[in-house]
Amino acid sequence: MTRARVVYGILWLLTLIAYSVPWASIDGETYIGWNFTVPFSITYLIGLLLGLIVLTVKYKPVGLTIVAGVLMILGVIGGFIGFGILEITAELAKPVEVTTEPGMGLAFLFALIFLVAGAITAKRL
């Protein structure tokens, strides 16, 4: 296994971990990226799958990595929009405590790192 493939795998794993960290909390019940997907952060999941395709079969590594990174960023933005709608709906329906968790910020940060560093690393795959 080449060093570039290991670095790319670590970058991809960081984005996967960020998807598994708590994104939001509603009255003490925590939601991670996996159960926050429908419909807002589903593009993050698609980006993860494209990154995995690049990691496993090395098909168009730079182009797919850029598309995957952009989709992940759009997924986090969609998650923030979904969280905003959730907060408004929860406040209108009944007073519910809705808070953000660090997962969304980490996912955004790791998606940016994956977009830039992953594309650079993908050239060497």
Rounded Cα–Cα distance for residues 14 and 60 (Å): 21
Q: How far is CA 46 from CA 25, 30, 66, 67, 93, in A?
A: 24, 22, 13, 10, 32
User: Residues 43-81: pLDDT tens digits?
Assistant: 888 999 999 999 888 778 889 999 999 999 998 888 888
The model carries a pTM of: 0.86
SS3 57: helix
User: Residues 86-102: pLDDT tens digits?
Assistant: 888 888 887 788 888 88
